Structure 1
């Protein structure tokens, strides 16, 4: 999908809010701290993620979900001009907590994983441009390059899966704000209190089959198509130690390119 001129894309004046999910424990990284606090090239992952978002959409309102009892991630959020809210027990519940804190005037909401801290600006602006063009649910994706096999109940190969119809999902995912609130209410993740304000619902588990925000649309608003736009290899999710190695390499390459561009100028 071709990008439109950013000057025509929604700004905070048009009601654009970005939720950055940073309440994960980061157990698989093995640092003994929330994932978003883990250092990457001397800076916490959350700080890099917020810089990436602000670089693409400098005037958008940013809400960061943090673990209960947190102070460090909240301080990073504030330092980057974002608002921190306590997340829930799961990613979906954390997003609901953030939605309850979004200004009621919001027209569009983007939901982004802090762990995808290296997302290029053009991915973010592609999502926003699609929303500005009238789409109501937008997801960046990449083709699946590896051979994929199905597995039967005994753990044996069930044959190769046709990957031509498969895509790997990334963030930020963008939505019409009212639509995202509506499907979160239908899923039992949000409710209205006695004063008519949105309130997150404490749940034991997420609704079955809900793996990301787009899956809420596909389950509770099936009449709304989820539009796919091009993602980027650098938008990978930092989950395991090897991902940190890759992320450092990306940052080093970006630094080298920046120096080369400066010299060329």
Structure 2
């Protein structure tokens, strides 16, 4: 099995309050994107493609290893992954692809290993998940609670998400133009492909706002 990795890093840093793309915001003195690339490589995924904003090509090239392929992403996650998949056409021996968020910098490499193991065992799609521990409700347009959901069947989905490369390519080909989904597992599920789950990790939390970054810094400081 030859796995390649995609790191989605074209997002803005607006909600983080940053003056640069989120993936270039430093954590422990290194950009978030560098941590995400290392997560994949530490698990043996050597070929990595990173999607970046068109205006920041030079900035990303400065911080990333020279053998990381950098491609211009789109305005949405779906568009960015499409661009990365097109770039993967040059990696002729690849049969498996992992899609990871640059905004999950502290994801342990053993999460990647579990996803790869599920794919090696025959799954066409696999995602890391965690249980939902808070009471979860639905609300109406006025913010009033309408129902309480049963937590036993709920999971929080993380990355990297893994796929047979042909499966993900076919699923994106089937996705109607203009349709935007929140992650790649949703894309393959829309194509009728079952998605298996593996254990995620609390350290794979997503950095979205300034508080998340502060928590990540604390985790990093405590890891030594």
TM bin, normalised by shorter chain, reads over 0.9
Residue in structure 2 matched with residue 160 of structure 1 by the alignment: 148
Aligned mate of 2:94, from 106, 112, 133: 106
Residue in structure 2 matched with residue 130 of structure 1 by the alignment: 118
Q: Distance in 1 between matches of 2:8 and 2:84?
A: 9
Q: Distance in 2 between matches of 1:162 and 1:230?
A: 20
Aligned mate of 2:25, from 33, 38, 42: 38
Residue in structure 2 matched with residue 198 of structure 1 by the alignment: none
- Work out whether residues 64 and 77 of structure 1, in 8 Å CA contact, stay in contact via their aligned partners in 2: no
Aligned mate of 1:250, from 214, 219, 222: 219
Q: Distance in 2 between matches of 1:77 and 1:183?
A: 29
Q: For 1:1-265, what aligned pairs fall within 5 Å after superposition?
A: 10=1, 15-57=2-44, 59-70=45-56, 71-79=58-66, 81-102=67-88, 103-188=91-176, 206-207=178-179, 210-220=181-191, 222=192, 224-255=193-224
Structure 2 regions of 5+ residues with no counterpart? none
Runs (4+) of structure 1 moved beyond 6 Å? none
Select the structure of larger CA radius of gyration: 1
Q: Distance in 1 between matches of 2:18 and 2:173?
A: 35
Please state how far the C-alpha of 1:90 moved relative to its aligned partner. 0.4
Please state how far the C-alpha of 1:39 moved relative to its aligned partner. 1.0
TM-score calculated relative to the size of structure 2: 0.94
- Work out whether residues 68 and 87 of structure 1, in 8 Å CA contact, stay in contact via their aligned partners in 2: yes
String of CA shifts for 1:183-241, please: whole Å, max 9, x gaps. Answer: 1111146xxxxxxxxxxxxxxxx415x21101011112x1x210000000000010000
TM-score calculated relative to the size of structure 1: 0.80
Q: Which secondary structure does the structure 1 equivalent of 2:50 belong to?
A: strand
Q: Distance in 2 between matches of 1:131 and 1:217?
A: 14
Q: Distance in 1 between matches of 2:165 and 2:107?
A: 22
Q: Distance in 2 between matches of 1:93 and 1:115?
A: 17
Aligned residues: 221
**Structure 1 residues 227-236 or 97-106, which shifts more?**
97-106
Q: Once superposed, what is the RMSD of the aligned Cα atoms? A: 1.4
- Work out whether residues 66 and 74 of structure 1, in 8 Å CA contact, stay in contact via their aligned partners in 2: no
Q: Which secondary structure does the structure 1 equivalent of 2:168 belong to?
A: helix
